[in-house]
Amino acid sequence: MGQSGETYTPDVVEFIQALQVALPKDIAFVQGLMMYSVFNQPLDHDRLLSWVWRLADKVRWKNPTSLLGLMINLRNAWIVAVSADQRYGPIYNQGIAQILYNGLIERGYQPGQSVPITLIGYSGGGQMSVAAAPYLKRVLRCEIEVISLGGVMSANNNFLKLAHLYHLVGDQDQVARLGSTLFPGRWQIFALSYWNRAKRKGKISKISLGAMGHQVPGGIMDPRALLPNGQSNLQHTIALILSILQGRFLTASSYRPKKSSNYDRYQDAEFNHYTYYPLFQTVNLQWYCPTAPWMGRLILPKFSERAQVQGVWFEVHHADRGYEWMVGQTVMLRWVDYPAVKERVRTVTRDVHFSADAEYSSQQGKIVLPERLNHWHQVDPLESLAGSHPVDDLIVMLEGVEVEAAHRPVLRIVNQPVEITGHYYGLVQFEQAIAHTDQFQVKHFNRTSRQFNGGTEIVRLPPVIRSQTGSYPSTTRNLEQTSLNETGWYIYGDQDANGQFVVRSLAPRALLRLQPDRVIFGEKAAYRYIRQESWANTAAHKGQISSVLCAGNSDTEQIQAAIDDWKVGDRALLLHVYGGIGGNKKEPAAATPLFFGHFAYGLATVIRDPLSHELRFEIQYYQVYSQNTDGLTAGTLHWSRYMGDRQWGWLGTRPTCDLLVKFKPFTGYLEINGRRRSALSNMVSQLQVMTARYRIGDGTGGNLCRSC
C-alpha cells in the first residue's frame, strides 16, 4: 500500500528480505515493479511535485506513521478506488497486467509452459493483484493464485479466474475490514457477485493471523511483536506464505462429517473391507477366473512423497503372466509418457480447495468428499482417484500395462484404472440356501458338458447393510428359485480367511450373453420399443430382466445373421439410464411422480468367456457422476462394481436400461494416414477427462446442483 517506487518502507523491506531467505530454490521472486502506475514509474520521476513525494518518502522512512508519509498512502488508496471502479478499472487493471507481464518476460518467464504464478498483495496491493490476474492468466496460459496480506479488495474482480485467493487477515486489522464494508458486492445478500460465487466454489480461503493489526507496530510484518506461541508476527506470516507456496497449507480437511453417510454405514459389514480377504488367494482355477490380468489397490502417496512417486502407489493383488513375483508388492503407478496422454492429464490437473457447499453436504452425510486432497496443489487424475475415499480402499484393474523394471518396478498406463468388485469370478447355479446361515450350495458350470454339473461348493453371501432410507441394496431371498437361476449367475468375489468364497457381486448370465430373449423388427417398431415399451410399467417387472435385439431390417430370416454379426473384439457404445428407488422405503428424490434419473455412457466389448466358451459382453460404465452418500467415485466402473455389487450396485434396487449401439463408422476402426483411429476411442478419452473433473469438482471438492 505504501509503495511509491521500486523501494519499500523499512517494514516491507524487512519482510521481503526474510521471505527471500526462506524461499525454496525452485521459486523465483520478482520485485521492483511499480503497481500503482500503468507506466511503471515512481512518484518522484519527472513530475512537477516530485520534490513533495521525495520529502514524504524521506519522512516516512524515519516514521511510517507520519502525517506526510500518509500522503502516499492516500494517493495510492485513490488508485485502488480507480482499479475497483467498474468504469475505469478494466483499462487501468489491464495496464497493471502489462507491467507484470513485461517484468516476467524480462526475467525469463516463458508463456504457455504452465509454470504457476503467485501474486502477493499487501493492503491495497491485494486489489491490484486480483484485478490484474485474469488478464495475466489469459496471455500467460497458466494458473495464478493470490496471497492477500490484509488486502482491501472489491467484489467486482473476477475471482473465478484465480486458481485460489488466500486472504490472510489479522484479528485486529481494521484496514482489511474496510473491504467487506465499502464494497457491497462482498455482502452476503449479493449472492451472485464474483466474491460470493468464488467463496461458494471454494476459491477463497480467509485465514486468521491471530492478534495482529495492519501496520507496524503490531502489524502483519512486525518482527518484534510476539504471538502466544513465541513466534513473531513476521515469522508467522512468512511461515503461512511458505506453506501455501509449497502446497502444505491445511493438507487435511479441518472438519469431520457430523452425520453418517451410506459409505460410513456400509463399513459395519466386515465383508465390505478389503482387509477381510487374504492377499494370496487359492481359488480353484478350474471353476474361477481372475477378473483381469492386473488388479490391486490404489494408495494415495503421502504429501512428502508426491515428487518421488509422480503418480500413486499400487498394491499388486494379481499380476499378468510372467510378473507373478510382483504380487504383494507396492509399486509406483504412473501415466505413460505419450504426448496425447500428458496433454489429457494436464488439462484436468487442478488445485483442490473445498467449497462451502461441498463441506456442508459432507457434514450432512449426503456426499463423500476426497477430503485428504483438500488444499493440495496440482492434483492429477490418478491422485484424485486414489484419494476419493477417506481411506485407501479402491480396488481396480489396469488395462494396457507397461512394466518398467528398475530398482523399484513402475507400472505405466494409458487409460484410467477401472473400479472393480472381486478379484475372481465364476459361473454357477444356486441350488439351495443353508438354513440359518449366510451360505448357499452352488454348482459350477462344466466347460466340457456345457451344463451346470461341475463341482459343488458352499459359498457365502453375507447380509448387506441397510441404507439411510431403510432399504436393502440387495437380497438373497429365494435366489435359487428365480427364473434367472436357470441360465446361471456370474459371481464375483474373493476367499475369506477360511478359504471360503464370498460372493460380493452378481451378474445374470442371460443378460450378458449374445442370445436375446426377444427380437424386434423394423425401424419404427424398434424406435417405439426404446422410447415407450422399455420403461412401461416398471413396477410390474420388478426382479426381471429383458434382453432385446432391435433389428432395423424387417426380414425375419436375418435374425441369426444379426446375432452372428457380433465378433470377438467388437465394441458397442452403451447408453445407460436408471430410475428411482420406489416402494415403501423410497429414496427422497423419488418422493414425487417426477424423477430425473441418471444417464451415463459405457463401453460393451464382445469377449469369449473362458468359463462358458460363449460370446458375451464385458461392460464398463464411464460414470460422469457427482459424489453421493454411497461413496460412488466418478470414473470407469466395471459391471461388478457399478451394477452387480451387492452392497453398492444398482442391480437389486433400481430399474435400469442399457442400450448397446453398434454402428461401425463410430464404434469400429478406420485407417487414416496409416494410423488406426476410432471415434469411439476418442469419446472414451473425453469421458475419462470428464470423470476426472467430476472426482474433485474441478477443484471445489464436490459436484452439487446448487453450486455456481
Quick check: 504 and 645 in contact, CB under 8 A? yes
**Domain presence at residue 378:** no
What residue type is assigned to position 176 of the chain? A
According to the 3-state scheme, what is the secondary structure of 626-682? CCCCCCCCCEEEEHHHHCCECCCCCCCCCCEEEEEECCHHHHCCEEECCEEECHHHH
Instruction: Check residue 69 and give its pLDDT.
Output: 54
Which pLDDT score is estimated for 636?
A: 97
Model pTM score: 0.78
Amino acid at 169: V
- Cis preceding-peptide flag for 217 (omega within 30 of 0): yes
Name, in order, each residue with C-beta under 8 angstroms of 538's C-beta and a sequence gap of 6 or more.
Answer: 579, 655
Q: Which domain holds residue 201?
A: 10-245
**CATH code of the domain covering residue 203:** 3.40.50
pLDDT at residue 348, as a whole number? 93
Examine residue 485 and state whether it is found in any structural domain, yes or no: no
Q: Is residue 135 part of a domain?
A: yes
Q: Is residue 319 part of a domain?
A: no
Is 516 in contact with 497 (CB distance < 8 Å)?
no
Judge whether 654 and 578 are in contact, CB under 8 Å. Answer: yes
Q: In what order do the strands lie in the sheet with 330-335?
A: 402-404, 410-413, 330-335, 312-318, 294-299, 395-398, 418-419, 635-638, 615-623, 598-608, 571-578, 656-661
Residue 461 lies in a domain: no
Given this model, what pLDDT does residue 672 score?
84
Distances (CA, A) of 557 to 207, 517, 560, 640: 73, 16, 7, 36
- Residue 495 pLDDT: 97
- Give which of 447, 454, 461 is closest to 500, Cα–Cα: 461
β pairing state of 395-398 and 418-419: antiparallel
Say if strands 424-433 and 288-290 run parallel, antiparallel, or are unpaired.
antiparallel
- The whole-number pLDDT of residue 302 equals 94
Query: Considering the domain boundaries, does residue 70 fall inside one?
Result: yes
Q: Please spell the DSSP secondary structure of 498-518, one letter per residue.
A: TS-EEEEEEEEHHHHBS--SE
Kindly give the parts of the chain with pLDDT less than 70: 1-9, 34-78, 250-258, 356, 552-558, 704-708
Distance of alpha carbon 339 from alpha carbon 511, whole angstroms: 39
pLDDT score, position 181: 85
Nearest to 132 by CA among 84, 175, 172: 84
Single out the residue of 379, 254, 356, 203 nearest to residue 707, CA to CA. Answer: 356
* Contact (Cβ atoms closer than 8 angstroms) between residue 176 and residue 197: no
Structural domain total, the chain: 1
Quick check: is 67 in a domain? Answer: yes
Question: 3-class secondary structure for 260-315?
Answer: CCHHHHHCCCHHHCHHHCCCCCCCCCCCEEECCCEEEEEECCCHHHHHHHCCEEEE
Tell me what pLDDT residue 50 has.
Answer: 60
Cβ–Cβ under 8 Å, residues 702 and 357:
yes
**Quick check: helix, strand or coil at residue 456?**
strand
Residue 303 lies in a domain: no
Question: 584 in helix, strand or coil?
Answer: coil
State the Cα–Cα distance between residues 351 and 688, nearest whole angstrom: 18
pLDDT tens per residue across span 169-206: 999 988 888 888 888 889 988 988 999 988 887 788 88
